[in-house]
Structures are given as structure tokens and as C-alpha cells.
Chains A and B, each alone.
Chain A
Amino acid sequence: MKHDIEDNEWKAEAPYLASLQKKNPFSVPEQYFNALPEMIHNAVYVDDLRETVPVSGFIVPEQYFDILQGCILAENEENILQHLPKSEGFHIPDLYFQKLQAGILEKTTGTEADSPVKQQPKLIRLWHNDLIKYASAACFILVTAFGLYLNQQNFNTENKAADIANEQMLYDLNEQDIIDHIDGNNADIQNDNTAKADLETYILNNYSQSDLSSAL
């Protein structure tokens, strides 16, 4: 009874709050309290396991952590570089990338990029002044003439060399060998004449004059 009075005293001081329906406005995911016991048991199991097997079984090389500290410090120093401004210091001409894109598209797809910059064909003069033009022509003529001269000289040299070689060969040959060679050729001619006489005799013996005249 005393508790009831004590518990309800505040209602006189806060009538609006007392008039509100006491309701839990919070909610939980579906089936949360059905799954909660299992989650608690799993958490308890994992915690027990952690206490039962406090060491993971992994080991590290001797003085590993001393070395590790040095490595981390060294890496930090390297990282200082990352804080430097990223600019490389290089510059490109104005609107370079728009022109580049337009050029690539034109060469690949044959279309013009939607770049506001119209690419102007670049004119390259072959001869910047008359002096260079005449000098180039003179050089061309000189080179051509020199080439022809060299070629002619080379041809004459080759002919002379061939004549000298032939003379040397004749000089080296034995005179009797030359006589034999000429006689050998005459023998072939005599043989050839004999064969022609035989053929003529054969034709005269085997064919009449009328056959021959009709065949001719």
C-alpha cells in the first residue's frame, strides 16, 4: 500500500506524462528473441574458447617486433613523400588534351571530336628560303654526277681486269694444248661431214626424185 502511494506520487506532479499510454516504442528484428539464446550460447562458447586457448599457436622470428618497429618507422619516412605536393612540375600547351582527343578520334574513327577547338592543319614549308633550295639542288646534282662517275669507273675497271685475266690464262696454257684443242674441233667437223654424206646416200637410195620433190 505504501509502495503504491509512493509509486504514484509523481502522477500528481506530471499529469500529462501520467496521461500518456505507457508503451515501448522500440522494436526488434523479427524472431530476434528466438535467436538470441543461441547467440548468447555462441558468445559464451567463443569466450570460453578464448580463455581456454589463450595462445594462438603462431610464433614469430626472434626480435621480430624490434625489426618490425624499424620497418614501420622507415615506412613512415617514406610516407612523408606522400605529403609532398603531387605536382610534377611539367606543363602542357593550352588545350592540349582537347586537341589530342580530336586528333586520336580523327585518326581512329574518322570522326571529329566535340571539342570546341577546331583543329587547324599544320603547314610545314619544305624550303624556308631560296638559298637552301638552290644549295639542295646543287647537292643533288653533285651526288648524282659523282654516283655516275663512280659507276663508270667501276665498269672499266672490271673489263680491264677480265682482259688481263684472259691474257694471263693464254700465257699460262701450253702451246701444244692449244694445237690439240684446235685439232679436236676439226675432227668433230670431219665426223659431222661423214654423217651428212651417209644421210645423203641413204636418201638417194631409198626415195625417188618425185618423192623428194613432193616432200619439199
Chain B
Amino acid sequence: MKQVEDDEILAKFSAEGTRNEAFNLLVTKYQEKIYWHIRRLVIDHDDADDLVQEVFIKIWKNLSKFRSDSKLYTWIYRIATNDCITFLNKKKQRNNIPLDDVSDELSESLIASSYFNGDKIQMKLQQALLILPEKQRLIFNMKYYDELKYEEISEILGTSVGALKASFHIAVKKIEVFMLNDDITF
């Protein structure tokens, strides 16, 4: 199925009569990308399901204010990323754990998840990602899985391209060490 251009969605959304149709098109186009972006960050399907709905509610409310000084999908990614970070911070506060240490809980969610069908290597890779600081994990996911360009990630996160490259390379090295460590098995 041919993907609808973002400009067309925005044009339809600006007209009262075609607003719902435009939103339908937007949901159809971005639901999976947004879901997977959120899912890789929060791990648990139910949490991701709640968050993806919240993100689209925000999009519905604020799309009329969207100015085309950035791309639509980077704007949507930014909303999703911010919601995920807020969610994880709340989770840390709720469980009284240090702000940078939610990895244990996410790791438990990963092991207990009934919606994970990766092999041992995939599990180990996900565990490696969970030991990374949150921002490095975010950058790695966007670069490795979503295959976004540094400029796009920069636009989403509001971080310079140089800083993103450095973070990504540090993350990659940590993951490589973790993966080659035979003592860590799952």
C-alpha cells in the first residue's frame, strides 16, 4: 500500500471536513513505527500499548499547532520519546530506585514477557542495551533499529550531531564487550 505523504496528511488535517480522515491516515502510517520505538524503550507490551495511545492523543490535540519548521515524523518521535522518558522516570520514582537505574526492573520485564520471541543472542543483546544509560540506549535504538540519520535523531532529541555520534560509539563498544563476555549467559 502506498504511503501517504506527510504534507497531504497535514493539508487534510487543516480542513475541518477531512480532519478525521487525515488523522486516520496518520495513525495508519505511524502506529507501528511509534509502537516499536516505545516498546524498545519500555520493554513491556502493555506499557507500550498505553503509551502509544497517549502519544496519539497528544498528536490529535496538538497537530493543528504543528509548524512545518521540522519534519512531521521527527515531531511525532519527539512526543513519543518524551512520553517514554517521563514514563520511565515515574516508574523509578514509584519504585524508589535511583534515576539512572531502572535496568533491573526492565530486565525482569524482558525475561517475563510473553511477547518476546528472540533467541539467546537476541536476549543477550537486549540485556546489554538495558545496562546502558537511558540516553545511550535511546540513541542506539534509533540508529541501529530505526536506522535514523544523526541529523534526524538530533532533531528529535535536541542534541548535537557530534554528541550523538560519541554517545552511539560508546554504546556500541559497551555492547560489544558485553556480548563477547562468555560469563554472561541467559
Known A-B contacts A6-B150, A37-B27, A43-B53; A13 and B117 likewise in contact (beta carbons under 8 Å): no
Q: Does B17 contact A (CB under 8 A)?
A: no
Q: Does B73 contact A (CB under 8 A)?
A: no
**Size class of the A contact interface (CB-based, 8 Å):** 20 to 34
Q: Does B157 contact A (CB under 8 A)?
A: no
Residues of A within 8 A of B31 (CB): 33, 36-37, 40
Residues of B within 8 A of A57 (CB): none
Residues of B within 8 A of A10 (CB): 168-169, 172
Q: Does B7 contact A (CB under 8 A)?
A: no
Q: Does A128 contact B (CB under 8 A)?
A: no
Q: Say which one of A20-28, A85-93, A105-113, A142-150 lies at the interface with B.
A: A20-28
Q: How far, in angstroms, from A6 to B154 measured CA to CA in the complex?
A: 15
Q: How far, in angstroms, from A10 to B150 measured CA to CA in the complex?
A: 13
Known: A10-B169, A37-B28, A43-B57. 16 other contacts (CB 8 A): A6-B165, A10-B172, A14-B173, A17-B179, A20-B125, A22-B144, A25-B116, A25-B119, A25-B126, A27-B116, A28-B115, A36-B52, A37-B24, A40-B56, A40-B57, A43-B56
Interface residues of A (CB under 8 A from B): 3, 6-7, 9-10, 13-17, 20, 22-29, 33, 36-37, 39-41, 43-44, 47
5 tightest A-B CB contacts, nearest first? A25-B118, A14-B176, A25-B122, A43-B53, A40-B56
